[in-house]
Amino acid sequence: MKKILDLIAGELKPVFAECGYDEAYAKVNLSNRPDLCEYQCNGAMAAAKAYRKKPIDIASDVVEKAAGNPMFAEISAVMPGFINIRLNGEWLAGYLNGMRTQEKLGLEAPEQPETLIVDYGGANVAKPLHVGHLRAAIIGESVKRMGKFLGHHVIGDVHLGDWGLQMGLIIEELRDRKPELPYFDEGFTGEYPQEAPFTIGELEEIYPAASAKSKEDTDEGRAFKERAQTATFKLQSGYKPYYAIWQHIMKVSLADLKKNYDSLNVHFDLWKGESDAQPYIPGLIQELIDKGLAYESQGALVVDIAEETDAKELPPCIIRKSDGAALYATSDLATIVERERDFHPDHYIYVVDKRQELHFTQVFRVAKKAGIVGPERKMDFLGFGTMNGRDGKPYKTREGGVMRLERLISEVNEAAYQKIMENRTVSEEEARETAKIVGLSALKYGDLSNQAAKDYVFDIDRFTSFEGNTGPYILYTIVRIKSILNKDGGQPADGAILPSVTEAERALQLEITKYNEVLNASFDEIAPHKICQYVYDLSNACNRFYHDTRIITEENQAQKESWLSLVRLAKDVLETCIGLLGIDAPDRM
């Protein structure tokens, strides 16, 4: 279905043309004064300059000719030249009935579906997932879901950090602990064991121990770090025994990462990582040299990316260090080479900490300059801010340590459980299960309701509250509607929606119709927070309507069915929208 704003504009265009004005002026917005009208067109103001007329005269011309249109209950010209519009109630009900009966609630399919890569998650293998990775997962998952639902071909890639120094650190720590392992026996010629020489529990302990050791300011610490660097380099050059250890690390760690992402209801289409880009690096570097883009600077190989219009001077992108090692940017560029080959995407979206902005500016510019991607390719960096504690500093455990994701989730679930038990409408057992859903909604909504680039304060009490702009409040609204529908004997509630009779009903109807517009705008602007704002507004409209209207005891059967259909539609819109945020609703709470 077309968006209401476009449908209204579609009616006004021929009228503008008929009156002798360019139809491009027939643009329609939601009214910012809902007390005066529902929609408005400000085109007369813009046209006034072009046609050297008073805006009010243009507006009056248009209104006079549009007055008989059955789509409008009211259309009027208001000083200095606004065109104010109220929809006809029948027409509005018809639109809602269209939404109710169409696939995806009448969402408009994109004219040109695009192939889109969403690069998010970015976990580092063998290091525990911590809250720093939370935002990438939550926001990226939402962007991916939005794109898919809108009808694009979307590929969500976790892009693991799986090729860095942590691998060398683990290898050397393992050597110190278990020197008898065949991987450390240079003369070993047999098959390496299938079984990993560590469990996930051990691995989780090995990495921090090794990392701490390498940071010690002693001869031992420095020597250990050097060994780790050498081991990393050997691994990256394909040294078999270390590659075998690497495979074990990957297998053990990935199983654990998947479990963690699953518990966040975050799912990737691709589990690729930096290691997958390695084969493309030599060719990439050669191409950059051949094209005359890469040059030597202080022993390193760099590509200039500065542009005249830059507000401040941007440093060149380093492609290869003086010791021959490839860098983060090289790996991201090589990944683009691979993605172009595999998917030829129209659009890339990277959901990464905003402190990496310069890195992505460099990568995007080199990719375009070198023709790795065409000039028309859309490349977006969605940089997110930090999740802070109430002290305004990055969120920590009460003891001041780095917060593990698992622990954060269990704390949120506990808080949600307490809130559910306060209501005491479900058994303890059910409350435990429901708390997982509600807790996750608190966590995700608390994050997504902020503009991604902003830092925000993680406030567990506020996020788990059933009141205010929170995930649990949205879920509570949905659950409430489900219970109304159940009270009516669980009938499918598929009677026709009738024109509204009350203000609260009208407001709810209008709110529902914004669905199409909001989903498209949220995706175009890569802004899940707009969906949050919408579900909050819609929830408020639902609760106001529900408060105002005795649905179940209504005697007029057609009226009752209309209301049931209306709240069901509202619920379907809410559930669809939160689904795009990666949030599910329980049946009771």
List interacting residues with ligand ARG (CB under 6 A): 119, 122, 124, 159, 161, 332, 350, 352
- Smallest gap from Cβ 460 to ligand ARG, in A, equals 25
- On whether the CB atoms of residues 500 and 541 are closer than 8 A, the answer is no
How would you list the strands of the sheet with 317-320, edge to edge?
A: 294-297, 300-303, 317-320
Query: Judged by CB, which is closer to ligand ARG: 331, or 562?
Result: 331
Residue 384: beta bridge partners? Answer: 353
Which distant-in-sequence residues (6+ apart) come within 8 Å of 325 by Cβ? 233, 236
413, containing H or E segment: helix 405-423
Query: Judged by CB, which is closer to ligand ARG: 172, or 332?
Result: 332
Query: Judged by CB, which is closer to ligand ARG: 337, or 352?
Result: 352
- Smallest gap from Cβ 350 to ligand ARG, in A, equals 6
Distance separating alpha carbons of residues 240 and 242, to the nearest angstrom: 5
Other Cβ atoms within 10 Å of 385 Cβ, number: 16
- Smallest gap from Cβ 274 to ligand ARG, in A, equals 8
Please name the residue that has the structure tokens 């109430």. Answer: 390
How many residues comprise the chain?
Answer: 589
Query: Judged by CB, which is closer to ligand ARG: 157, or 346?
Result: 157
Query: Judged by CB, which is closer to ligand ARG: 106, or 121?
Result: 121
- Smallest gap from Cβ 303 to ligand ARG, in A, equals 17
Query: Judged by CB, which is closer to ligand ARG: 276, or 346?
Result: 276
- Smallest gap from Cβ 336 to ligand ARG, in A, equals 9
- Smallest gap from Cβ 474 to ligand ARG, in A, equals 30
Please name the residue that has the structure tokens 């879901």. Answer: 145
Query: Judged by CB, which is closer to ligand ARG: 275, or 513?
Result: 275
Which distant-in-sequence residues (6+ apart) come within 8 Å of 167 by Cβ? 125, 126, 231, 232, 235, 242, 246, 249
- Smallest gap from Cβ 379 to ligand ARG, in A, equals 12
Please give the residue whose beta carbon sits closest to ligand ARG in the complex: 122
Distance separating alpha carbons of residues 442 and 121, to the nearest angstrom: 20
Q: How far is CA 301 from CA 237, 321, 327, 330, 568, in A?
A: 19, 7, 11, 11, 61
Structure tokens at 358: 């310069």
Distance separating alpha carbons of residues 252 and 257, to the nearest angstrom: 9
- Beta-strand ranges (E) seen in 417-569 are 456-457
Among residues 91, 141, 104, the alpha carbon closest in space to that of 119 is found at 141
Secondary structure, 3-state, 252-268:
HHHHHHHHHHHHCCCCC
- Smallest gap from Cβ 364 to ligand ARG, in A, equals 11
Distance separating alpha carbons of residues 375 and 9, to the nearest angstrom: 33
Query: Judged by CB, which is closer to ligand ARG: 124, or 449?
Result: 124
- Smallest gap from Cβ 332 to ligand ARG, in A, equals 5
Query: Judged by CB, which is closer to ligand ARG: 277, or 442?
Result: 277
- Smallest gap from Cβ 49 to ligand ARG, in A, equals 47
- Smallest gap from Cβ 325 to ligand ARG, in A, equals 17
- Smallest gap from Cβ 164 to ligand ARG, in A, equals 8
How would you list the strands of the sheet with 378-384, edge to edge?
A: 153-157, 115-119, 347-353, 378-384
- Smallest gap from Cβ 159 to ligand ARG, in A, equals 4
Q: How far is CA 558 from CA 510, 552, 561, 589, in A?
A: 21, 12, 5, 30
Query: Judged by CB, which is closer to ligand ARG: 227, or 365?
Result: 365
Burial degree of 373 (CB within 10 A; 0-12, 13-18, 19+): buried
Among residues 554, 570, 532, the alpha carbon closest in space to that of 449 is found at 532
Distance separating alpha carbons of residues 508 and 503, to the nearest angstrom: 9
Query: Judged by CB, which is closer to ligand ARG: 268, or 350?
Result: 350
Alpha helices in 151-304 (DSSP H): 165-177, 200-215, 219-236, 240-263, 274-277, 281-290
Query: Judged by CB, which is closer to ligand ARG: 266, or 535?
Result: 266
Query: Judged by CB, which is closer to ligand ARG: 349, or 589?
Result: 349
Among residues 271, 265, 319, the alpha carbon closest in space to that of 162 is found at 271
